[in-house]
Amino acid sequence: MLDVAWTTWRSPIGLLTVVEREGMPLAIDLPGRAGATNWRERILARSPDATIRIGACPTTATWLEAFFDGDPTPAPWPESAADLAQSPAHLTIWRAIHAIPFGEMRSYQALAAEAGMHPRQVGQLVGANPLLLLIPCHRVIGKHGALVGYAGGLGPKQWLLDHELRATGLTLRIG
């Protein structure tokens, strides 16, 4: 039987819903959006006998603490992404996002060109990411550097990008 724990984790960008099983992250999401990513339904569809309970998620919490402390060490690829993806296209884009280094950004258009997809399709696939921060979709921006689209809103996205720039010692000057 699959034992799944979930908790609410306080972060600088607000409360996060964190879901983990046996040290493997299954979801990092904003509470208001957790229903939209259907993490509970996806788990039960693959493992109908799963037990989902409120509990500690120590592996994911440790990684989140390091991230918010400014540690640029990327998290390992979450093998659970294969269980959460609705299509191979999701995995393609999520892997491309996971490869974006801490403190760097890529445009939807650049990801689309790499994957041979339309930028709007990439936007939909990015928006379905159930592992915020671990698969760092906040690093995906509009063409010409425009700050667009983020499940938590543009304020948290800007905070995350600024946080990464501060942690790497980079400064962004416009004009």
Active site residues: 137
The DSSP bridge pattern shows strands 140-141 and 51-54 to be: unpaired
* Dihedral-angle region of residue 125 (phi above 0 means left; psi in -120 to 50 means alpha; beta otherwise): alpha
From residue 44, alpha-carbon distances to 1, 53, 83, 128 in Å are 11, 13, 11, 18
Query: Which DSSP category does 166 fall into?
Result: H
Burial class (CB in 10 A: 0-12, 13-18, 19+), 2: middle
